Structure 1
């Protein structure tokens, strides 16, 4: 298998899973990146926008747009940092927490169903390898 195929596989896995996730969470009125953002903030509360953009590898202007939409939907809050009023700390509202938990449950159920339907794929090994790739990429950007 040529190595350039890896990008095709990774992109295809992401698009296919997000398409199916989005169908299951349609009532939340959030797009794929916004659902990822809700989960990230759920796991990493009180970060500033710059930190979120860097850690999620999202363009800061696109992040600002998605945060504005989530804020309008009353799913996130943007609070001025006490040390630097120019910086906003990002947190979930109670409605945002419920939305993130629904997204998380949907993703867990989807992946659980996928691995149940495909026992030929060793889930712990697959997860471990993806984590190693992700962590290696994170180290190379610093």
Structure 2
């Protein structure tokens, strides 16, 4: 790999990790919490277990994230009517508002980062990243 960048900066994954960390600090909301909230918003009446399985988050971490989201009034957790051991998650109106706000900040940050790329280049980048990640089911590290 030939590049004018040296050290870890020459690796796109490193650069994206730094950008993600900066974005996290900017929005004031843990990104993992946002991804869980977004997933719950997109999948009504989802089980807590399914969130962990689909997003690859450890069960105890899912509980911690959902506890925080519930305390903040962003999700409601109710017992499953058929299996009282399970919890169902539903996003609240406040949760939808937060998702919308954070999505806007993420879109603005993406525009800043990818501002030098033309629309077709952004589409190509998105397509290539999606293709590269298709077989990844867990962290490669």
Match of 2:83 in 1: 84
- Counterpart-to-counterpart distance in 1, 2:106 and 2:56: 20
Structure that is richer in helix per residue: 1
State the 1:75 CA deviation.
0.7
Deviates more, 1:62-71 or 1:121-130: 121-130
Q: Does 1:60 align with 2:59?
A: yes
State the 1:68 CA deviation.
0.3
**Is the 1:78–1:88 Cα contact (8 Å) retained in structure 2?**
yes
Cα separation, partners in 2 of 1:52 and 1:21, compared to 1, 3 Å: same
- Counterpart-to-counterpart distance in 1, 2:120 and 2:13: 15
- Counterpart-to-counterpart distance in 1, 2:122 and 2:47: 33
What is the TM-score when the length of structure 2 is the normalising length? Answer: 0.78
Match of 2:44 in 1: 45
What is the TM-score when the length of structure 1 is the normalising length? Answer: 0.77
Cα separation, partners in 2 of 1:43 and 1:22, compared to 1, 3 Å: farther
Over 3 Å off, 4+ runs = 117-121
- Counterpart-to-counterpart distance in 2, 1:10 and 1:39: 23
Match of 2:100 in 1: 101
**Larger of the two Rg values belongs to structure:** 2
Q: What SS does the aligned partner of 1:122 have?
A: helix
More RCO (CA 8 Å, sep 6+): 1
State the 1:120 CA deviation.
10
**Is the 1:21–1:110 Cα contact (8 Å) retained in structure 2?**
no
